[in-house]
Chains A and B, each alone.
Chain A
Amino acid sequence: MDGFEVQRKISNDVVILNLKGYLDAHTAPQLEKALQTCIDQKEYKIIINFENLSYISSAGLGVFMGFIEEIRQHGGDLKFSNMNPKIFRVFDLLGFPNLFEIFDDERDALNKFNSK
């Protein structure tokens, strides 16, 4: 089975999580941990970059649902970027574009954070 990896970088006060590989029920706890770390460190401006993600299942999306309220309550947001069409299709199908901002490029998401 393909692995899954979360790479973390910081740009000013925005945390960027780069997802890589295969995000499903099996690897979802890894993403949960990475997001929990952000919350614990009071980092509420988060961008998820999907460029290197090859697969996402509902369980992967479920992880985001568990954090979004907390993040927004603290004045932050979870923004998505660099989705390939296959990944976007799953998000779209489940109605996520109604709830999350999705950007073509990480830079756009970053600008949106910084423009506020």
Chain B
Amino acid sequence: MPDIAQERATRQRGSVELQSLFELSRAISSSRDFRHVLDVLLLTPMGRMLISRGAILLPNGHGRFAIAAAKGVPHEWQQQVFAFQKLPRHIVAAPAEDLRHYAARLPELGFNLLCPIYFDDRCLGVLALGNKLDGSFYSKNELEYLQALANIAAPVLENNRHLHALEVVNKQLDRKIQELQTLFEIGNELNSTLDKKTIADSLCFAIMGEMMVQHCVVLLMQAPGEYEVLACKGQLNPKEVPLLQQADLMHQLLQLQRPLRLQDIPESGLRSVLKASHLNLYIPLMNQDEVKGAVLLGKRFIQSDYSDNDLQFLSTLANAATISLENARLFQEALEKQRMDEELAIARDIQQRLLPASPPELPGFDLAGLNWPSKQVGGDYYDFFLIDSNRLLLAIGDVSGKGVPASLLMANLQASLRALIYADMPLTKIVARINDIIHENTAIDKFITFFVAIIDIRNRALTFVNAGHNPPILIHQSGEVVFLETGGLLLGMMPNVVYEEETVPLASGDWLILYTDGVSEAMNAEDEEFTEKRILQAVHKHADLSAAELVEVIAREVIDFTNNAPQADDITLVALHLD
């Protein structure tokens, strides 16, 4: 009964095949380990059909197939990648040589059968098998069995493909989240400080962590062609970075307005020095269309190069830092301005305190002084006081320069005058001594124009020395005008100057006007000066006013004359009227 025996053998084989397929499907659907799944997929037919060589080829994402699992294949072959000229649609069993027109290197591995695994018309992999050990050809039955196996494997491979894609996307997403987190954190950190070094440090650390780089340099432009190294991380000494020693190449680099990798820079001195400095990436700190500074990075530790995405991320980070650095600069400027304003307020205060609070009360002498400081604080000074019961001192001066230095020099003058005036010395000697003191205490470009006079009250005589000051105007009631010019060089120019003095008589009805160049040289819109002529006219016109009223009227005329333009200089006036 050969038929029956044959039929039973066929049925038995069928049942074994079914069982093996059942086990296979159970094994691969219960395993989460994809490698294990591939192993089962390979070992099942190899064991079942006594095949000594087999491999599963999976797409490697670059249009080729790589060996994902292999048995009985020489180890050195396992890294092989295959380029299929054409993919089999169905199982192909043929002599090894004939498989060459699918992929050139297949025969070298001794495969005789290719079983493609399709899902939805997409080839997900190829099961490649060698010869059966018994040397027989694959039977129709066996080919059907392999087809069934491929059908079972297809959804598993498809799932794995999705899983893998998902993992890649997930990883990218995680990376993006980390980048966002870094941006967010750095944004916060940058906004919480106005110290540029702290800003640069935060920027460095964030970049070094995110990009895995060891060297990070942050530069900030201070003026065209001038920059400051804000941070130099990774145990780098700025003095040992070749690039930072080459001003011309730095200048060239800081003209570049977009991020550049070393290889983006054409072969040049700049590229060579960047290379020698081990700096592989340049990110400009841009504000509007200006390069405000730069971040320079060394090479990445793992991935060899910076991707476009990295460049984008780094630029975003750099922009945030640029804004913070700009804010820090503006804040610093505001702070400096505030300090200067405070300094000016102090200077103004010093100046005001040095001026006499009120004129001495003297019968027959109407005396008044006025000082309207300019916004900038000049160095004007006037003084009057009784030296003794018969001698009245009058003084006016103008210190060169402005601000605190001028105020201090003026204090110096006031102190010297008040100390020396009581010494038993002629006025000329006193002025000479003050000149020496001022000369010793100041730089060559600082000087004082100074006029000092002593009035003998009983004899009504005025003795004066004029050290380069605008000549005071003495207007006799008769209408005669005298400019008090005698004296000598202005104070502080050179030591040992010899001064002259002159004495003029005073009479009832006389006006004496002392003033500074803030009055006589006040300028109107037509570039005309106020001049002594207008002072004289004012005195003539308002001769009936008190001294206090007159100085105020003149000062107002000066302001009117300049049409309320910002006052460049102090307005200082002293008027004396004899009854």
Interface positions of A (Cβ within 8 A of B):
24-26, 28-29, 32, 39, 57-70, 89-90, 93-96, 98-99
Contact = CB atoms under 8 A, between A and B. Distances in A.
11 contacts: A28-B205, A58-B185, A58-B209, A60-B205, A61-B209, A62-B208, A63-B208, A66-B216, A90-B178, A93-B174, A95-B301
B177 to A, nearest CB: 9
Interface centre among A29, A32, A58, A60 (most CB of B within 10 A): A58
Contact of A25 (B206, B214, B235, B302): B206
Given A57-B182, A57-B185, A94-B209, A69 B234 contact: yes
Nearest to A60: B209
Contact of A24 (B185, B213, B233, B234): B185
B212 A94 contact: yes
A65 B299 CA distance: 12
A88 B234 CA distance: 23
A95 B210 CA distance: 9
A39 B210 CA distance: 23
A68 B214 contact: yes
Given A65-B212, A68-B214, A69-B234, A25 B178 contact: no
Contacts of B303: 95
A68 to B, nearest CB: 7
B301 A99 contact: yes
A66 B235 contact: yes
B205 A62 contact: yes
B233 to A, nearest CB: 5
Nearest to A28: B205
B205 A98 contact: no
Nearest to A69: B214
Contacts of A24: 185, 189
B390 interface: no
B44 to A, nearest CB: 36
A25 B210 contact: no
A94 B213 CA distance: 11
Contacts of B185: 24-25, 57-59
A59 B235 contact: no
Interface of B: 171, 174-175, 178, 181-182, 185-186, 188-189, 192, 198, 201-202, 204-210, 212-214, 216, 233-235, 301-303
Given A60-B209, A65-B214, A94-B212, A70 B204 contact: no
B539 to A, nearest CB: 70
**Secondary structure type dominating chain B contacts:** helix
Given A59-B182, A59-B206, A98-B301, 18 more contacts: A25-B188, A26-B189, A28-B201, A57-B209, A58-B210, A61-B208, A62-B206, A62-B208, A62-B210, A62-B233, A65-B234, A66-B205, A66-B216, A69-B235, A95-B301, A95-B303, A99-B212, A99-B302
A67 B204 CA distance: 13
A96 to B, nearest CB: 7
Contacts of B234: 65-67, 69-70
B325 to A, nearest CB: 15
Contacts of A98: 301-302
A28 B302 contact: no
Contacts of A69: 214, 234-235
Contact of A66 (B182, B186, B214, B302): B214
B524 to A, nearest CB: 59
Nearest to B213: A65
B302 A93 contact: no
A49 B185 CA distance: 24
Contacts of B175: 93
B17 to A, nearest CB: 45
Contacts of A58: 178, 181-182, 185, 205-206, 209-210
B235 A70 contact: yes
A25 B202 contact: yes
Contacts of A60: 205, 209
Given A28-B202, A67-B235, A69-B235, A62 B207 contact: yes
B212 A39 contact: no
Contacts of A67: 234-235
Nearest to B204: A62
A57 B208 CA distance: 11
Given A25-B186, A25-B189, A63 B205 contact: yes
